[in-house]
Amino acid sequence: MLDRRTLLLGSATAAGAILLGACAGNTTTPRPRVRTGYLQVPGARLYYETRGSGPPLLMIHGGVADAGSFAAIAPELAEHYTVITYDRRGNSRSRLDGPPADLRLDQQADDAGLLLKTLIDTPPHVFGSSGGAIVALELATRYRDRLGTVVAHEPPVPAVLPDAAAQQAKYEAVYQTYRTRGVQEAFQQFMAIDPGEDDPAADGDYPADPEFGTRIQGNQEFLLAHEMLPFTRYRPNLAALRAKLPKLVLGVGHYRARVATRIVLTLADRLGTKATPFPGDHTGYIWRPREFAEKLHAALT
């Protein structure tokens, strides 16, 4: 997900304007060449980008966003890794072959697996944030022996909480609002589920691609209609994830959120490990790309 304060405006147009304005920021990190392409997978055509050289690192974005959410951090990481980013199916440039349908986590893992099989021939590291962290958990469950370190940063999996039913009911209510009152009111309700501490860096600039803000406007309804419920209903396979330890890292933002932080700490406790703090908030990789990249590199090495 994008910065809470941006999206709590309740307007995709306003979100786009803020993000586009932020693109004016400069960075001292050299911009590596971005290689782009498309991969046909069953039922969709995936857009992807690669940067840098070295061990492969797949980065999986959260809901509403796309590969552009890693535009600031990918150049930092490309100094050490071949960074692979992509738009998950149904989002932005990754078009579906048929009408929109609810996403499935096995399908999400298969998409990532086919992308990796096409682009690399060595075991990759994986980083996923928010909804992308759920995909990372599913990858760790299904392909753990074929992956390096998997970092799941603040996955929204309320099923691990003692009050799971009450938390899930909030997402079910958002869906009903979407069906009866439309996208904008439902999205405001969605963003209010998990308020968090403000990160002062979220008012700064970051080098996102020029079309990012405009592009993600079309992802808002797709999240509400086809992604939010399948993802938040996900039940992690705890036994399979324990088998991935210690090469499974559960990331939590320095700036805490009411629910996301509790989920990560609870999941870590149930797996018998510790949560790893990362700079910033739920989207620290956007607002603090260099700090976040350094922490992620340390987690991977």
Question: Which residues neighbour 29 within 8 Å (Cβ) at sequence distance 6 or greater?
Answer: 75, 76, 79, 290
Query: b/e string for 30-59 if b means 16 or more Cβ within 10 A?
Result: eebebeeeebebeebebbbbbbbeebbbbb
pLDDT at 2 over 80: no
Domain boundaries, the chain: 4-300
31-35, 143-147, 222-226, 255-259: least confident range: 31-35
SS3 content of the chain, % helix, strand, coil (to 5): 45, 15, 35
pLDDT of residue 22: 39
Is the peptide bond prior to 279 cis by the omega test (within 30 degrees of 0)?
no
Confidence of residue 207 (pLDDT cuts 50, 70, 90): low
Question: pLDDT tens, 122-148?
Answer: 999 999 999 999 999 999 999 999 999
pTM for this predicted structure? 0.90
Query: What confidence tens digit (pLDDT) does each residue in 211-247 have?
Result: 888 889 889 999 999 999 999 999 999 999 999 999 9
List of residues 6+ apart from 11 with CB closer than 8 A: 184
Confidence of residue 77 (pLDDT cuts 50, 70, 90): very high
Measured over the CA atoms of residue 2, residue 260, residue 252 and residue 239, the dihedral's sign is negative
Task: Decide if domain 4-300 falls under CATH 3.40.50.1820.
Answer: yes
- Residue 188 has a pLDDT of 94
Q: Is 284 helix (H, G, I), strand (E, B) or coil?
A: helix
